[in-house]
């Protein structure tokens, strides 16, 4: 069997590769960096929103001292009999009704007072309700965000009471209170938030860069490994036990596994970093934030940050991961097969950089095809170059997964692109299988592709004689 | 069991590297594969091992086409190599696994060979930390692992100090005595004479001498004469029609046409009361045969390169 022994070559190459100091150090360092980045995504918002989170905590614990609004004056000019509830468990505010004629005087009083107080002036004009509110001046220690929380809560309760007075039941009120979401877009455009804009541009750029680094560097190692065996003449010894085809299969699969393993280590490090940071991160407080927002209106900002982060990762799922892994493997095979030929075409290590130069040009070209169209592409629109790059085998490994993740490609389009990539792998594998065994023991000057094919043809003719 | 090589030929870009090489190993022993640098020895070995496609010819082992991947063959190549950055023991286990040995079998074999070759202390070191001689020992161990039936040793003794050369010779002798078929190429003619009964001598890809060494020597007869005396005798040698080959500190070497010519010289020297210190009439050595067949027409460096490409 022509492929006998490939498993031994695979196992040896894999083990030796993961035992090298460079692999251990680079994997450890990068995994730590990835874990720190993942932890930062969790911890940083918690640090930036520390004051708000403290208030959420205090609010839920009924700690009214931390809540700076101590007094609430309500001037109701509407015909409604309004009642606002601020429980001790939430804010502990005791509202005090005042006459609407005293509003001006109260505003002046608030401007000078040291008391942390708020005035809510509720009016109704042509059936429209409004709350104009004022809070104590600079002599007080009142916090504007606390006033906003009170206002949010009052607004919600006012809506409910008004709708109730109109005769709506609980479900109807719930529907109305949720409000009507509005947006203004030019026809043909998709709605894009700031987070979406960043995701649209940065995810494809970062993904193509990471995939390029992994695929390209490990492919080069295939060339290097074969060149070492050729230049040190180990190859001759190996060929008494295994075929050239077994050697290249074992090596390519080993390098592919090493790179994939390293990639998954980084993914796991990210997950560990995120989970380990939970006690200190914003996601640990997600339940508290939701409760606080619904109960008292405190924590709106924190909830928005969480929603933004979750929205950015919403398209990461098992399907995306499977497509990422398949693309990674096929992309790696394209470059590793080219690298295998490059490594076999030389007999001296000093010729290696020259031998892999054509592969470097192809790789860099493929990378730029995938990377450049994403610069400034914040709206997720696919320009023609980006679309073409997703189907060209030298560039598709670097851009296909992110395009699918961001919804820029349908599943059918992904399957077509993968089929093209697979066809390229098969074609390259056939060329390598045909040429490799004829050039593996070549010594002397570096071979060009035309020389390799010529040698292969000559051998074929000889064999058929 | 026998190895039969029939009409092997190989050309590179129109340059004939090996032409019509045939020989046969019908019984276990050491077969000498000789030739100048670039004569085509390594090319022939690579063809025998099926690493290099043959232009023509067949290699039969046990009566059928040799498939090196299915047979247990040990090979020590001329230009040796180990993975420089990898641990020696791990490399040996790797090579053993390629030969199809189980881990326990590999361990047994490696332990024996490392002990026999006196390299136990280096098993945990990387290959690049070993001296050239010790690396060569590791490679001989790699060739012998799995107890191969046939051994191909390309220049096994080159670069070894006398102590290690003797160790290698002992091991080759042991392998021969175990009934192995051994093909050995070497430029050390004395070593070849110690081991080999049969040989083939290649020059410019062609066989220029082949057969049983003793019979070849006999066929030449005792035509090599070395003489050392206390006084001048070259005029007498000239009188007898002898041709001087060379002068050495041990005397003068002549080429004689027959034994009678040598006896005439001795007789005349004694008649003139010349004190003869050495008078050695012998068959040609392998070294002399080699030089005679290949000496006047050595292969150039550029031709060596052409053979390899």
Distance CA B116, CA B111 (A): 8
A151 touching chain B per CB within 8 A: no
Contact (Cβ atoms closer than 8 angstroms) between residue A87 and residue A95: no
pLDDT digits (tens, 9 = 90+) for B74-111: 999 877 688 888 999 999 999 999 999 999 999 999 99
* Contact yes or no for A239 and B51 at CB 8 A: yes
Domain boundary (B189, B217, B245) is at B217
In this complex, the residue of B56, B74, B84 whose CB is nearest that of residue A232 is B84
Listed residue (A302, A367, A303, A309) closest to A334, CA to CA: A367
- Do B235 and B190 sit in the same domain of this protein? no
The reported pLDDT for the residue numbered B134 is 92
Give me the CATH number covering residue B189: 3.40.50.300
* Contact yes or no for A243 and B69 at CB 8 A: yes
* Contact yes or no for B49 and A438 at CB 8 A: no
- Do B114 and B195 sit in the same domain of this protein? yes
Please check whether residue B208 lies inside any domain of the structure: yes
Per-residue pLDDT of chain A (465 residues), as tens digits, is 577 889 999 999 999 999 988 899 999 999 999 999 889 888 888 888 777 777 777 777 766 566 788 889 999 998 888 888 776 545 667 788 899 899 999 999 999 988 889 999 999 888 888 899 999 998 888 888 788 878 888 887 888 888 888 888 777 776 766 655 555 666 666 555 566 676 777 777 888 888 898 898 889 888 888 888 888 778 888 988 898 888 888 999 999 999 989 988 998 999 899 889 888 888 877 777 777 776 666 677 777 777 777 766 766 778 888 898 999 999 999 999 999 888 888 878 888 888 888 889 999 999 999 888 877 766 666 688 888 999 999 999 999 988 888 788 889 999 999 999 999 999 998 888 777 777 777 766 777 777 776 766 665 555 444
The interaxial angle of helices A357-371 and A318-344, nearest 10 deg, is 160
Number of structural domains in chain B: 2
Please check whether residue B71 lies inside any domain of the structure: yes
The reported pLDDT for the residue numbered B52 is 83
The reported pLDDT for the residue numbered A185 is 62
Domain boundary (B198, B217, B236) is at B217
Rg over CA atoms, chain A: 33
- Do B34 and B152 sit in the same domain of this protein? yes
The CA distance from A242 to the nearest CA of chain B, in Å, is 6
Residue B145, token pair as written in the block = 């692992």
Domain boundary (B200, B217, B234) is at B217
The reported pLDDT for the residue numbered A63 is 61
- Do B105 and B61 sit in the same domain of this protein? yes
The reported pLDDT for the residue numbered B304 is 45
Of the two residues B286 and A381, the one the predictor is more confident about is B286
Please check whether residue B102 lies inside any domain of the structure: yes
**H runs (alpha helix) in A61-122:** 103-112
A462 touching chain B per CB within 8 A: yes
**H runs (alpha helix) in A141-284:** 144-165, 170-177, 194-231, 234-238, 244-276
In this complex, the residue of A5, A438, A441 whose CB is nearest that of residue B46 is A441
* Contact yes or no for B75 and A237 at CB 8 A: yes
User: Is the pLDDT at B306 greater than 50, yes or no?
Assistant: no
A445 touching chain B per CB within 8 A: yes
> Span B194-222, mean pLDDT?
87
- Do B139 and B252 sit in the same domain of this protein? no
If phi > 0 it is left, if psi is from -120 to 50 it is alpha, else beta; for residue A247 that is alpha
- Do B108 and B229 sit in the same domain of this protein? no
* Contact yes or no for B69 and A241 at CB 8 A: yes
The reported pLDDT for the residue numbered A127 is 80
Distance CA A435, CA A437 (A): 6
- Do B59 and B167 sit in the same domain of this protein? yes
Structure ipTM: 0.81
The reported pLDDT for the residue numbered B182 is 95
Give me the CATH number covering residue B259: 3.30.70
Q: Phi first, then psi: what are they for A71, rounded to 5°?
A: -135, 140
Distance CA B5, CA B25 (A): 9
Please check whether residue B291 lies inside any domain of the structure: no
Please check whether residue B242 lies inside any domain of the structure: yes
The CA distance from B98 to the nearest CA of chain A, in Å, is 6
* Contact yes or no for B81 and A243 at CB 8 A: no
Q: Which residues lie across from A451 on neighbouring strands?
A: none
Which of 238-267 (A) contact B at CB < 8 A?
A: 238-243
The reported pLDDT for the residue numbered B18 is 92
Q: Phi first, then psi: what are they for A147, rounded to 5°?
A: -60, -40
Name, in order, each residue with C-beta under 8 angstroms of B132's C-beta and a sequence gap of 6 or more.
B159
* Contact yes or no for B73 and A233 at CB 8 A: no
* Contact yes or no for B309 and A238 at CB 8 A: no
- Do B62 and B84 sit in the same domain of this protein? yes
- Do B150 and B268 sit in the same domain of this protein? no
* Contact yes or no for A237 and B52 at CB 8 A: no
Residue of chain B whose alpha carbon sits nearest to that of A13: B94
The CA distance from B260 to the nearest CA of chain A, in Å, is 53
Instruction: Report how many Cβ contacts below 8 Å link chain A to chain B.
Output: 76
Residue B158, token pair as written in the block = 């080159």
What is the pLDDT of chain B when averaged over all its residues?
A: 88
Contact (Cβ atoms closer than 8 angstroms) between residue A118 and residue A133: yes
Name, in order, each residue with C-beta under 8 angstroms of B6's C-beta and a sequence gap of 6 or more.
B22, B57, B58, B59, B60
A179 touching chain B per CB within 8 A: no
The reported pLDDT for the residue numbered B305 is 46
B41 touching chain A per CB within 8 A: no
Please check whether residue B189 lies inside any domain of the structure: yes
Residue B270, token pair as written in the block = 């004694």
Of the two residues A207 and B184, the one the predictor is more confident about is B184
* Contact yes or no for A8 and B81 at CB 8 A: no
The reported pLDDT for the residue numbered B307 is 43
The CA distance from A233 to the nearest CA of chain B, in Å, is 5
- Do B85 and B189 sit in the same domain of this protein? yes
Distance CA B252, CA B279 (A): 10
Contact list, B7 vs chain A (CB under 8 Å)? none
- Do B173 and B250 sit in the same domain of this protein? no
The interaxial angle of helices A194-231 and A396-405, nearest 10 deg, is 150
Contact list, A254 vs chain B (CB under 8 Å)? none
Distance CA B146, CA A241 (A): 12
- Do B88 and B111 sit in the same domain of this protein? yes
The domain containing residue B180 runs over which residues? 3-217
* Contact yes or no for A232 and B83 at CB 8 A: yes
* Contact yes or no for A242 and B98 at CB 8 A: yes
* Contact yes or no for A442 and B99 at CB 8 A: no
Of the two residues A405 and B237, the one the predictor is more confident about is B237
């Amino acid at each position: 069997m022509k492929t006998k022994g490939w498993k031994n070559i695979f196992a040896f190459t894999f083990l030796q590769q993961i035992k090298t100091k460079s692999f251990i150090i680079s994997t450890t360092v990068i995994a730590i960096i990835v874990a720190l980045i993942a932890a930062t995504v969790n911890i940083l918002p918690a640090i930036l929103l520390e004051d708000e989170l403290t208030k959420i905590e205090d609010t839920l614990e009924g700690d009214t001292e931390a809540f700076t609004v101590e007094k609430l004056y309500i001037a109701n000019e509407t015909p409604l009999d309004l009642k606002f509830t601020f429980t001790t468990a939430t804010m502990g505010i005791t509202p005090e009704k005042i006459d609407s004629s005293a509003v001006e005087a109260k505003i002046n009083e608030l401007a000078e007072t040291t008391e942390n107080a708020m005035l809510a002036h509720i009016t109704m004009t042509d059936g429209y309700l409004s709350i104009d509110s004022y809070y104590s001046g600079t002599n007080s220690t009142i916090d504007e965000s606390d006033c906003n929380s009170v206002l949010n809560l009052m607004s919600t309760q006012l809506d409910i009471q008004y709708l109730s007075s109109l005769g709506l039941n609980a479900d109807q009120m719930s529907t109305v209170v949720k409000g009507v979401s509005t947006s203004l877009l030019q026809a043909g455009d998709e709605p894009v938030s700031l987070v979406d804009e960043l995701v649209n541009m940065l995810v494809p750029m970062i993904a193509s860069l990471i995939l390029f680094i992994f695929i390209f560097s490990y492919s080069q190692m295939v060339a290097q490994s074969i060149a070492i065996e050729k230049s040190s003449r180990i190859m001759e010894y190996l060929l008494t036990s295994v075929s050239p085809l077994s050697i290249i299969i074992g090596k390519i699969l080993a390098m592919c596994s090493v790179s994939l393993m390293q990639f998954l280590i980084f993914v796991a490090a990210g997950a560990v970093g995120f989970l380990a940071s939970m006690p200190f991160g914003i996601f640990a407080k997600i339940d508290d934030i939701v409760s606080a927002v619904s109960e008292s209106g405190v924590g709106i900002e924190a909830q928005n940050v969480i929603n933004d982060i979750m929205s950015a990762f919403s398209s990461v799922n098992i399907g995306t991961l499977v497509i990422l892994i398949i693309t990674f493997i096929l992309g790696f095979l394209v470059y590793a097969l080219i690298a295998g030929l490059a490594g076999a075409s030389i007999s001296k290590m000093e010729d290696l950089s020259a031998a892999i130069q054509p592969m470097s040009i192809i790789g860099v070209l493929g990378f730029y095809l995938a990377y450049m169209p994403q610069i400034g592409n914040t709206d997720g629109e696919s320009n023609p170059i980006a679309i073409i790059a997703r189907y060209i085998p030298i560039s598709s490994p670097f851009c296909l997964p992110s395009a699918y993740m961001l919804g820029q490609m349908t599943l059918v389009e992904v399957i077509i692109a993968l089929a093209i990539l697979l066809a390229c792998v098969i074609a390259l594998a056939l060329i390598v299988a045909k040429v490799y065994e004829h050039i593996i023991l070549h010594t002397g000057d570096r071979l060009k592709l035309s020389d390799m094919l010529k040698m292969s043809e000559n051998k074929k003719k000889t064999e058929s004689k | 069991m026998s190895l039969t090589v029939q009409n092997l030929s190989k050309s590179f870009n129109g340059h004939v590297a090996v032409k019509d090489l045939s020989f046969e190993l019908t019984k276990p022993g050491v077969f000498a594969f000789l030739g100048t640098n670039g004569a085509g020895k390594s090319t022939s070995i690579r063809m025998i091992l099926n690493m290099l496609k043959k232009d023509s010819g067949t290699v039969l082992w046990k009566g059928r086409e040799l498939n090196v991947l299915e047979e247990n063959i040990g090979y020590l190549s001329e230009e040796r190599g180990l993975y420089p950055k990898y641990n020696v023991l791990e490399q040996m286990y790797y090579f053993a696994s390629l030969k199809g040995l189980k881990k326990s079998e590999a361990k047994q074999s490696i332990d024996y060979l490392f002990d026999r070759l006196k390299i136990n202390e280096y098993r945990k070191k990387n290959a690049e930390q070993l001296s050239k001689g010790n690396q060569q020992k590791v490679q001989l161990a790699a060739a012998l692992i799995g107890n191969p039936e046939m051994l191909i040793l390309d220049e096994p003794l080159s670069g070894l100090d006398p102590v290690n050369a003797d160790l290698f010779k002992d091991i080759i002798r042991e392998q021969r005595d175990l009934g192995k078929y051994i093909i050995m190429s070497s430029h050390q003619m004395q070593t070849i004479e110690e081991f080999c009964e049969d040989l083939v001598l290649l020059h410019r890809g062609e066989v220029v001498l082949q057969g049983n060494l003793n019979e070849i020597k006999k066929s030449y007869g005792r035509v090599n004469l070395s003489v050392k005396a206390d006084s001048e005798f070259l005029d007498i040698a000239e009188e007898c029609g002898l041709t001087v080959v060379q002068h050495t500190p041990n005397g003068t070497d002549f080429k004689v046409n027959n034994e009678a010519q040598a006896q005439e010289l001795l007789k005349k020297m004694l008649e003139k009361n010349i004190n003869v210190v050495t008078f050695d009439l012998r068959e040609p050595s392998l070294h002399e045969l080699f030089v005679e067949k290949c000496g006047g027409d050595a292969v150039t460096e550029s031709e060596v390169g052409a053979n390899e490409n």
